[in-house]
Amino acid sequence: MAATPSSAGEPIAGRHRVAIIGGGSGGISVAARLRRAGISDITVVEPSDTHWYQPLWTLVGGGQAPLSASRRPEASVMPDGVRWIRQHAVAVDPDARTVTLSGGDSLTYEYLVMAPGLQLDWSGVPGLAEAVGHDRVSSNYASEYAPRTWELIKNLRSGTAIFTHPAGPLKCGGAPQKIAYLAADYWRKQKVLDRIRVILVIPDPAMFKVPEWTRTLEKVAARYGIEVRLQSEMTAVDGDRREVTITDHASGVKETISYGLLHAVPPQSAPDWVKASPLADPASPFGFVAADKYTLQHPQHPNVFSVGDVANVPTSKTGAAVRKQAPVVVANLLAVMNGRTPAHRYDGYTSCPLVTARDKMLLAEFDYDLKPKPSFPVINTFKERRDMWVFKRYVLPPVYWHGMLTGRL
């Protein structure tokens, strides 16, 4: 794979048959599959020169993987024959079929795939934007902070460690609690866990949306002595005082707690320009793109599809979901190109590898109906397993780089 990006000053002339907004896992997977199907004149709009395998950041924050293992040059994953425009998309007009770019140009498309991902709203919690990266506050949700998480975990020998989960949709919904288990297991092995108060803040009424895995996670939290605050949320941070405000949404009670370590996950939403676009779903308070949950086609604009985190579909936003969505988007886009009605369906499959210790993991796989959808029926994925941890650390990354991004898996 190789690509040469267009420079910011280069005119973007002519009509592009397929424009893909976003060069992350969804955009690249769709581009690769379209090329394999023989489609030419594909343009990917992606400003970054780095492609990240973000699922590894939990293990980076837990001291189990180097950050470099999650990074590749964007040019190395761009499919051959795909034009890469290295600019930001800043607006879309689906009636005129144009996308406005940060360099001031516009491109015209016949078909559009929306895959810009989501944005981290650090300012969504008062004080968080100022504190993160400082004042013993970190977050595995950003590459620049994940290594810091491990430094904070290693250096904490007593005090209070708080791990938060925001309300609303977010990518990899299990990640906010996975790092709590990795940290607690490390402290247990260092024989300091009994001197550390560990608090896990979860906005939902249960630890996980699927009961089969909730029961196991409750036992995991109890094993480490973690205080689980359900229906609660971080609502303010004072980095100078090293204090966080936790609001219990069930009772309305607010509590201010001093911390020695705060792993904070920010609220998340669609990029601002997507929220302001005609493609945004008016039913989504977070501005995600409207999409039929089965075909991933826009309900008002049949030449527009969405894939990945930006799609307003009722399932967890994970890389595993993208892996199942990409072939559906491509098959249905090809159908539309050939004057047919989209017939391929996405069943809401998603997967959350729940790391519960430094050598154990649960693999939670389920669909729109929250029914388990195991990829390995002969394996009990409701039980913590070392082979599942090995699968996450050493098998899934090469599957991502060499299978999913190339359109083979």
Question: CA-to-CA distance for 267 and 289, rounded, in angstroms?
Answer: 17
Helices (H), 190-318: 211-224, 272-275
Neighbours of 382 (CB within 10 A): 16
**Does residue 67 sit in helix, strand or coil?**
helix
Question: CA-to-CA distance for 290 and 275, rounded, in angstroms?
Answer: 11
Q: Which of 326, 364, 395 is nearest to 37 (CA)?
A: 326
**Does residue 270 sit in helix, strand or coil?**
coil
- Residue 211 makes CB contacts below 8 A (sequence gap 6+) with none
Question: CA-to-CA distance for 342 and 325, rounded, in angstroms?
Answer: 14
Length of the chain: 409
Q: Which of 16, 9, 8 is nearest to 47 (CA)?
A: 8
Residues 28 and 52: beta-carbon distance below 8 Å: no
Question: CA-to-CA distance for 113 and 289, rounded, in angstroms?
Answer: 11
What secondary structure letter does DSSP report for 11? Answer: -
Question: CA-to-CA distance for 53 and 69, rounded, in angstroms?
Answer: 8
Count of CA atoms in the C-beta half-sphere (13 A) of 247 = 10
Q: Which of 87, 24, 84 is nearest to 54 (CA)?
A: 24
Question: CA-to-CA distance for 388 and 359, rounded, in angstroms?
Answer: 9
Q: Annotated active-site positions, please? A: 172, 352
